[in-house]
Chains A and B, each alone.
Chain A
């Protein structure tokens, strides 16, 4: 299977012992350690309860952009490794109003994603969910969290960053101004202006996202993705049908998407209909639909990619460089 990567020679993880012994890896992992400390301190202070995420379940997030779920034989039942904890995040709001996970996720991404430098088959998310929140409110949490983490890392491990060649002044600019904001339609128009053929009713493609990211000086939000580009749990606007109340947060400097989030659908009939619109078979979501039918809080939340965040902070080329045990899509590794 290594044949797939011939064209990207040199852009792949070395053998695991070599990777772990590398000073680059060690610096990146020290930065990651500080990111986790800062994240827990910040979210704890904002009243979030940290829960430990489930690893397997009868269903999981049906995925995006062609990634495949991995099966586990659970007493004869086909269970899934979590591609994301979205259903359990919504369930958790029955216990607490504000929760977060540091969640491991597994997605068998298409082999083509090995060239994006920001996909891992096994990765982690800082996953938050807030009962009764709006998109604007959770975007504010994302902005404060990212600003806090950048400040903390600059204060605690500047030598690790400079050792990796990161320009601290560039990183500090993140703290200077409020984050930018555009809409999906605005981003499409901007890409068309740059000569990039972006479909107006699909996810911004990876190349397009990188283009926009390079143009930006500050992190910025992209709001209002069209239905058909995202999962059934992203709430559809009641005033603008076809537009989702969701967002991505894009890092500047070509690092691309750090966060995906949304207000959530929480009404049973809406969720069943949206499941069909995303080609899902509602029958397999029985436990989730039973719970929704009994009532769950409206909410909003997001997932911030931990490895992507650390890649942005360190300025490293590929996301596998900041993961201790990297699994690049399609590559069989320990």
Chain B
């Protein structure tokens, strides 16, 4: 070790790169498959800084009072809702885990089982099929996608929930949707109107990049002709698999959605957008082309592998995405550090129909394989009922921007983009 010191300078980070080279662009590879990722500023994001603000006068409570013939309580809040064409017991759904070791394991199966029991929709991640395989017949017991679908179907109550299978640009080679749609195993889902397909345009953890995972040599060889596989870490047991984000224009997005509707008329069509600066236009194109739901993944991290620069510096924060979208032109879903009632209720007040749980669900089932997610959502549901009733409302879709207050420094940014109005600052 030399004697050079540079106080007040990110010396340790520079030394790490000098020692490890390109590997230092990523989080420590030892944590891969053990950790979920995402930067959390100490002050929280705009959504965390906003407060829910109950009113004194509550006309909707009067409506509920008349309906019930007694004073309404928090327990009278009905959390059931429609999510992208499916009925759900709660305004939340299980989002895709991707193909990291976390997403493909028994944790994901446990999460699927509990999501089914809860009656909330579930999205199955993009490259589960190309990476983990989709065997049929006898081999299908080991197949990640079908195992998760079965676990879900074993528990889901009639009339609730749905399974949404994601595909991105590279997965087109594996024909994930065609494969699922033409498989007799999907028939129970199709027959009950509970199959959906999600077009993955991008993701929150690394907007502008495609999927990234670490694979061992054997798994890398399997996908060698589908993805770029690079040796960043100097070990054959740690190879970086990178996908392309795919090329989109408004016409490409519009036509891809139309083709999905054309080819899979019995499936619901979802679109997952990255937190891009043009997220409002993209969401509108998707809804106009007939998407049943648009999910905005805030720049809040995820279960996938991402360079630290992307976790810390890239993408529009979720609250800003929602502000840019404004009044949604269709069913709007949102993800990004959702795990408790307050953040979910705030998102609902900003026009979101349901919140995506990704990392929270994984941690919950890691805590308890049998009940972790169920308990987490028990808590979330109670909290949401308390909060929504305090706002004088008894249904999630009654929430509106009036229920939120932003601190003054945020509020100036809170004004609609195209209105020539100046905020009045306090003297």
Contact = CB atoms under 8 A, between A and B. Distances in A.
B259 A108 contact: no
For B167, B187, B262, which residue has the most chain A Cβ atoms within 10 angstroms? Answer: B262
Interface string A268-304: 0000010011111100100000000000000000000
Contact of A278 (B190, B246, B255): B255
A283 to B, nearest CB: 8
Interface stretch (A13-21, A27-35, A66-74, A319-327): A66-74
B178 interface: yes
B187 A278 contact: no
A68 B178 contact: yes
Interface residues of A, number: 35
A64 B172 contact: no
B258 interface: yes
B262 A202 contact: yes
Contacts of B225: 77-78
A67 B261 contact: no
Interface in B255-273: 255-266
Contact of A281 (B169, B190, B199): B169
For B179, B181, B225, which residue has the most chain A Cβ atoms within 10 angstroms? Answer: B181
Interface in B209-247: 225, 244, 246-247
B30 interface: no
A110 interface: yes
B175 A284 contact: no
B187 A4 contact: yes
Given A4-B187, A277-B256, A279-B256, A66 B172 contact: no
Given A277-B252, A278-B255, A228 B262 contact: yes
B97 interface: no
A65 B263 contact: yes
Nearest to A231: B259
B182 A110 contact: yes
Nearest to B248: A276
Contact of A68 (B182, B190, B258, B262): B182
A229 B255 CA distance: 9
B258 to A, nearest CB: 3
Contact of A65 (B246, B262, B290): B262
A202 B258 contact: yes
Interface in A178-192: none
A110 B261 contact: no
B99 to A, nearest CB: 17
A273 B260 CA distance: 17
B184 interface: yes
Interface string A104-126: 00001111100000000000000
Contact of A276 (B175, B252, B290): B252
A111 B257 CA distance: 22
B251 A277 contact: yes
Contact of A64 (B181, B263, B290): B263
B175 A68 contact: yes
Contact of B259 (A68, A199, A278, A281): A278
For B177, B187, B244, B255, which residue has the most chain A Cβ atoms within 10 angstroms? Answer: B255
B262 A203 contact: yes
Contacts of A276: 246-248, 252, 256
Interface in A151-169: none
B392 to A, nearest CB: 40
B383 interface: no
28 contacts: A4-B187, A64-B263, A66-B177, A66-B178, A66-B181, A67-B182, A68-B182, A69-B175, A77-B225, A78-B225, A110-B181, A111-B182, A112-B266, A202-B265, A228-B255, A229-B258, A276-B246, A276-B256, A277-B251, A277-B252, A279-B169, A279-B172, A279-B199, A279-B256, A280-B172, A281-B244, A284-B173, A330-B184
Given A111-B184, A276-B246, 18 more contacts: A4-B184, A63-B175, A65-B262, A65-B263, A66-B182, A66-B263, A68-B179, A68-B182, A112-B266, A199-B261, A201-B258, A227-B255, A227-B258, A228-B255, A228-B257, A277-B252, A281-B172, A330-B182
Nearest 10 interchain pairs by C-beta: A228-B258, A277-B255, A68-B178, A202-B262, A66-B181, A68-B182, A66-B263, A279-B256, A110-B182, A281-B172
Interface of A: 1, 4, 63-69, 77-78, 108-112, 199, 201-203, 205, 226-229, 273, 276-281, 284, 329-330
